[in-house]
Structures are given as C-alpha cells and as structure tokens.
Amino acid sequence: MEKEKEIKEQEKEQPVEKLEEEVPVPEGHGEDKKVKKEKKDKHGNSKLKEENQKLLEQISKLQEDNQSLLEKVKLAQAEVVNYRKRKDEETQNMLKFANQDLITELINIVDNFERAIKLDDNDLSDELSKFLDGFKMMYANLMEILKKFGVEEINRVGEVFDPNLEQALMTDSIEEMDDDVVTEVLLKGYKLNGRVIRPASVKVNSK
C-alpha cells in the first residue's frame, strides 16, 4: 500500500513533456503589412488615374462643344448685324429716292421752263417780257426746291465723256479740243442724292 503511494507521488513529481503541435501558417500570413498597403494603394491610385483620365476627356469634349457653340453664336450675331445693316441701307435708300418718280416729272417741267426763258427779250413786247420775267422767277424757285431735295445738274462741258453720266447724241470736230471731250449739253442731266436719274444728252468731240 505504501509502495503504491510512493509510486504515485513519484509520477506527480516527474515533469510531463508535452509535444508542441505544429500550427499550420495560413498562406500570405508572412507577408509584410507595408507590402500589402503598397499593393492596396497602387490599385487605388490606378483606379483614380483612370477616373481622372475620363474626367479630363469629358472636360476636353465639353470645351470643344463650348468653343463650337461660341463660334455659332458669333456667326449668328454677325449675320444679325449684317442683316440690320442691309435693312438700314435699304430703308435709307427708300427714303432718299422715294420722290424719284415725282422729281423726274418735275424735271420735264424744268425743261419747258428753260426753253421758254431762252427767248430773247428784245423780240418781245413789254407785256410778254414781263410775263417772261415771271417765268424766270418761277424757274429759279423750282430749281431751289429741287436742290433742297438733293437734285443736282450734270453739266460737264470741257470734260472727258463719261458714259455713266452722259449719252452722246452728236459729235463735233473742234481742232482745239481733244477727242471724247464734251463740247455741248443738248439736254441737261440730273442726279438725285448722287444717283443718276437722267443722263445728260451731249455732243462729243471727234476729230
């Protein structure tokens, strides 16, 4: 009995050697945390670069669209300005030449006045002479009125013939003058605000 007790006590005193179990190390467990972080950051940066690139492309496209729209707006504005200029010019021309038909008719009356006042007073009686004086006064008043409305005579005797201002009905042969020079006005021409409404009928020198 005592012997069994001693054996049990001895077993208690002897240390029990425990085998350490090998714990399997998970794959990647040994990687450094810094490396993992670098990989993660690299992946994040790559994605960010792609997003930035897309945004830059969108910005570039928007800038191109904006430039195209600006050019269209400028073109439209230029067309509006040109249209207004054309309309203003047309309106001004309408106002400047609105009386052209009336003035053309009055010019025919002026022709008759000029034929009448060319009569020689010496061949007229006193009564007809006074009547002619009245004609001259009316003629002068009429010419003043026409002048106020922008009417001017075309009288270029001694100058080179201009087909834009004159029409040659006859020719002269004057040695002292050059060819194509207007020698005489047969029927006066007129301009209205710079526009020829009736060319002058003239004689032109031709040696």
Among 28-32, 87-91, 192-196, the least confident range:
28-32
**Residue 200 confidence (pLDDT) above 90:** yes
- 38-61 residue pLDDT tens: 666 666 677 888 888 889 889 989
Fold of 150-207: Nucleotide Exchange Factor Grpe; Chain A, domain 2 (2.30.22)
DSSP β-bridge partners for residue 102: none
Q: Distance between CA 176 and CA 158 in Å, rounded?
A: 11
Question: Please, what is the end-to-end C-alpha distance for the chain in angstroms?
Answer: 178
Q: Distance between CA 204 and CA 178 in Å, rounded?
A: 10
Query: For 2, left (φ over 0), alpha (ψ -120 to 50), or beta?
Result: alpha
* pLDDT category of residue 18 using cuts at 50, 70 and 90: very low
Q: What percent of the chain has pLDDT over 70?
A: 76
- Average confidence score pLDDT of the chain: 82
Mean pLDDT of 18-24: 48
Q: Distance between CA 107 and CA 180 in Å, rounded?
A: 27
Identify the H or E element spanning 157: none
- 165-175 residue pLDDT tens: 999 999 999 98
**Contact status, residue 151 vs residue 192, Cβ threshold 8 Å:** yes
- 79-121 residue pLDDT tens: 999 999 999 888 888 888 888 999 999 999 999 988 888 876 6
**Residue 23 confidence (pLDDT) above 60:** no
